[in-house]
Amino acid sequence: MSKIKLNVLGISYSQTQSGAYALVLTEESGDRRIPIIVGGFEAQSIAIQLEGLKPPRPLTHDLFMNFANSFNIDLLEVNIHKLEEGVFYSKLLCDNGEKKLSIDTRTSDAIALALRFKCPIYTTEEIMERAGIVLEFGSEEKSSSFSENASASDSVTPSSVSSTEYEDFTTQELKEMLKEAIGEEDYEKASLIRDELNKRNES
């Protein structure tokens, strides 16, 4: 069975499910995207890693990685191997130096771990045919805000999060606010501040 490599494009609020987020994956050698609904905690954990933020204390996925590293267990790859009734099923392929093990996991947890272990994410052509969609982009930037509308088996219609409320602050003020937000573990606010700082660095 051929595997298709995926990259994480971004995360946005889901307009169709309250308190949920849309995680968007894109095939590395193609134009198809897969939108997946994830919970708030998992979305936060993924966004923190995408933004390069360092929480003062390890989150659950950080703890998992630290635990695995302590016992010389490596995460080789993530496989999204099944789509059933709108739910994606994934497996972690792990190696402890003596044997390889496949562990069942929720897809949102699998992606959060893949980002931390810097391991590849794969799916099948069958899943791409069933759930993949092609979107037109004005920009291909990777961001934690995914502003295009999408529709698939999960009926995802994400909306972007804006950092415009921080435009009037100086860069130094934003850096202090970012440090404070991370210290208070308000990662949603930290992500927006980081977006504004990144926008200024690019201009």
User: Residue 86's pLDDT band (boundaries 50, 70, 90)?
Assistant: confident
Q: What is the pLDDT of residue 46?
A: 93
User: Residue 20's pLDDT band (boundaries 50, 70, 90)?
Assistant: confident
Is residue 140 pLDDT above 80, yes or no? no
Q: What is the pLDDT of residue 60?
A: 93
Residues whose CB falls within 8 Å of the CB of residue 103, separated by 6 or more in sequence, listed in order: 91, 92, 94
- Mean pLDDT, rounded, for 38-47: 89
Task: Please state the domain extents for the chain.
Answer: 3-161, 162-203
Of 155, 136, 139, 158, nearest in space to 147 by CA: 158
Q: How far apart are CA 152 and CA 149, in angstroms?
A: 10
Q: What is the pLDDT of residue 166?
A: 81
Is residue 192 pLDDT above 60, yes or no? yes
Q: What is the pLDDT of residue 13?
A: 75
User: Residue 41's pLDDT band (boundaries 50, 70, 90)?
Assistant: confident
Q: What is the pLDDT of residue 117?
A: 97
Taking the model in full, what pTM does it have?
Answer: 0.70
Is residue 160 pLDDT above 70, yes or no? no
Q: 3-161 — its CATH code?
A: 3.10.690.10
